[in-house]
Amino acid sequence: MNLTSRERVRLALDWQEPDRPPIQIYLTPEIEAKLTAHFSGQDLNEVFGVDFRFVQPIWRGPLKPRTPDGIFYDIWGVGYRNVEYEFGTYPEATDLALARITTMDEFEAYPWPDINHYDFSTIAEQCDRYRDYAICLGDAGIPDIVNGVSRGRGMEQVLTDIALEDEVGMAIIDKRVEFYYEYLKRALEAADGKVDIVCLGEDCGTQKGRLVSPATFDRVFRPRLKKFYDLAHEFGAKAMMHCCGDTSDLQLTFIDMGLDILDAMQPEPPGMRDIERLRAMTRGKLVYCGLISTQETLPHSTVAQCRAEARHRLDVIAQGGGYIFAPAHCIQPDTPIENVLAVFEEALGSLPARRAHDPSSSIN
Burial of 81 (0-12, 13-18, 19+ CB in 10 A): middle
**Per-residue pLDDT at 275:** 96
| Amino acid of residue 213 | S
- Judged by DSSP in three states, 169 sits in helix
The CA distance from 175 to 288, in Å, is 30
CA pair distance 145, 173, nearest whole angstrom: 6
How open is the CA angle 208-210-214, to the nearest 5 degrees?
150
- Using only the alpha carbons of the chain, give its radius of gyration: 21
The pLDDT score that the predictor gives to residue 352 is: 86
One-letter-per-residue 3-state SS of 312-357: HHHHHHCCCCCEEEEECCCECCCCCHHHHHHHHHHHHCCCCCCCCC
Residues 6+ apart with CB under 8 A from 347: 20, 21, 23, 49, 310, 314, 325
Domain spanning 5-61+101-352 has what CATH number? Answer: 3.20.20.210
β-pairing, 79-85 with 72-73?
antiparallel
- Give pLDDT, residue 360: 37
pLDDT of 353 reads: 77
CA–CA gap between residue 165 and residue 170 (Å, rounded): 6
pLDDT score for 150: 98
Contact criterion met (CB below 8 Å) for 182 and 57: no
pTM for the whole thing?
Answer: 0.95
Task: Encode the chain (364 residues) as per-residue pLDDT tens digits.
Answer: 689 999 999 999 999 999 999 999 999 999 999 999 999 999 999 999 999 999 999 999 999 999 999 999 999 999 999 999 988 889 999 999 999 999 999 999 999 999 999 999 999 999 999 999 999 999 999 999 999 999 999 999 999 999 999 999 999 999 999 999 999 999 999 999 999 999 999 999 999 999 999 999 999 999 999 999 999 999 999 999 999 999 999 999 999 999 999 998 999 999 999 999 999 999 999 999 999 999 999 999 999 999 999 999 999 999 999 999 999 999 999 999 999 999 999 999 999 877 655 433 333 2
- CA dist., res. 350 & res. 153, Å (int): 46
Q: Residue 46's pLDDT is what?
A: 97
pLDDT at 204: 95
Residue 21's closest CA among 350, 352, 348, 351? Answer: 348
DSSP class of residue 206? -
Q: What is the pLDDT of residue 361?
A: 36
Domain ranges of the chain: 5-61+101-352
CB-CB contact of 79 with 73 (8 Å): yes
Question: How far is Cα 97 from Cα 106, in angstroms, rounded to an integer?
Answer: 11
